[in-house]
Amino acid sequence: MAKVLAVAEQRDGKFGSGAHEVVSVAARLAQDLGSTAQGVVLAGTGVSLDASSLGSFGADKIVVIEHDALADYNPEAWVSTLENLIREGEYRVVVFSATTLGKDLAPRIAARLDVPLASDVTEVDISDGMVSVTRPVFSGKAFAHLEIDASPALISIRPNVFPSVESVAEGEVTTVTPDINVSDLRIRVLERERSSDGVVDVSEASVIVSGGRGMKAPENWSLLESLREVLGADAALGASRAVVDAGWRPHGEQVGQTGKTVAPSLYIAVGISGAVQHLAGMRTAKTIVAINRDADAPIFGVADYGIVGDLFEVLPRLTDEIAELRAKD
């Protein structure tokens, strides 16, 4: 049985769209292989978790692996645990989400299992029993189409690209507790700092409000923050390289070739002229809006909709209009 495994991430007991996407992809691949999809979730002991909800995205069985040492991500604790499960399960494909966690974890699992990994894929299919993928290279300036000649084939999928396919079904949940000797761990997490609580990361956000040098000064980010707020919980702030290099914004927010490559459903570029490295990082967004005073700025070349004008006048108006619209919803 060529089963497919989805590695679903939870945070504070909640599954985000990333978890729904990996399970949906696993279910589709399993169907093409004439088999079934399973999900695995790693969590701290006693986290209240509705793991059976992953069943409605197509997982027949969900394994919850619980241990105190799995509460926060520590690769030393996670890798052996997951490796064992994958070895025992004899999966044909293992699907990770290409989040910060997934991008750290998947290559370690690949090396343990001695199989290659296709990272950050934007398409995956089964053809003649082979796993074929498409993945962006050169930060999205080109795509590579590949076949993975190994089993299990390991892939990590780019957040926000694959649909979550929901149906009425429940998965059967088993909870297991592994043996983890905490004193063996060679990595220890000492502190965790959340720059903004509850705000989704730019790489996973479905809406991104991104600012560039046209914002003129770091204190003007309050205008972008207000817009982000009215756009909802799935919206994050992004930044151009210029403002990160200037120290106005943290590197974690940088979009582009030396930052994050993103695929949100809405990308609002404010005061960003659109260097080729930036465009590479955001051009697969579904809808792109640009606000810039320079009508010749390259950003307008990729934008679906643009407003030419002074962002300090346009931004507050945009925030107000969207807030008004949302209030009526």
Partner 1 sequence: MNVIVCIKRVPDTEARIRIDGSGSSIESSGIKYDMSPYDAFAVEAAIRLKEGLQGEGDVSVMTLGDSSSGETLRKALAMGADRAVLLNGEVSLDGLATAKALAAELEGSEADLFLFGIKAADDDQQQVGQMVAVLSGRPCVSGVSSFEIDGQTARCKREVEGGSEIVEVDLPAVLCITKGPNEPRLPALKGIMAAKKKPLEERPAQLSGSRVRLIGFSTPPPRAEGRIVGEGPDAVPELVRILREDAHAI
Task: Show the binding pattern over residues 154-193: x = contacts partner 1 (CB under 8 A), - = does not.
Answer: --------------------------------xxxxxxxx
Q: Name the amino acid, one letter, at 196.
A: S
Interacting stretch for partner 1, rule CB under 8 A, among 49-57, 59-67, 167-175, 247-255? 247-255
Burial group, residue 42, by CB count within 10 angstroms (0-12, 13-18, 19+): buried
Closest Cα to residue 264, out of 280, 241, 283?
283
Binding to partner 1, residues 254-283 (CB under 8 A): 254, 257-259, 261, 265-266, 276-277, 283
| One of 47, 71, 161, 199 touching partner 1 (CB under 8 A) | 199
Which tokens hold the place of 286? 């579904």
Nearest approach in angstroms of CB 55 to partner 1 is 26
Quote the Cα angle for 129-135-138, to 5°: 155
Q: How far is the CB of 201 from partner 1 (least distance, A)?
A: 4
Stretch that binds partner 1, among 19-27, 73-81, 165-173, 208-216 (CB under 8 A): 73-81
Task: Tell me which of 68, 182, 286, 294 binds partner 1, using CB under 8 A.
Answer: 286
d(CA 139, CA 136): 6
Cβ-based neighbours of 5, under 8 Å, separated by 6 or more: 26, 37, 38, 39, 40, 85, 86, 89, 91, 93, 94, 95, 152
Minimum CB separation of residue 175 from partner 1 in Å reads 26
Interface pattern 102-141 for partner 1 (x via CB under 8 A):
-xx-xxx-xxx-xxxxxxx-----------x--xxxxxxx
Question: Which range touches partner 1 (CB under 8 A), out of 56-64, 85-93, 215-223, 302-310?
Answer: 302-310
Q: 172 or 250: whose CB is closer to partner 1?
A: 250
Bridge-partner residues for 211, per DSSP? 239, 270
Q: Which of positions 212-231 make contact with partner 1 (CB under 8 A)?
A: 231
- By CB under 8 A, how many residues form the interface with partner 1? 97
Bridge partners for 210 per DSSP: 238, 269
9 token code pair: 């991430």
84-103: contacts with partner 1 (CB under 8 A): 99-101, 103
- Interacting residues with partner 1 between 8 and 67 (CB under 8 A): none
The tokens of 44 are what?
């701290």
| Rounded CA separation 323/329 (Å) | 10
Separation in Å, CA 180 to CA 108, 189, 324 = 17, 16, 52
Instruction: Compute the least distance from the CB of residue 57 to partner 1, in Å.
Output: 21
- Asked if the bond preceding 152 is cis, omega within 30° of 0, the reply is yes
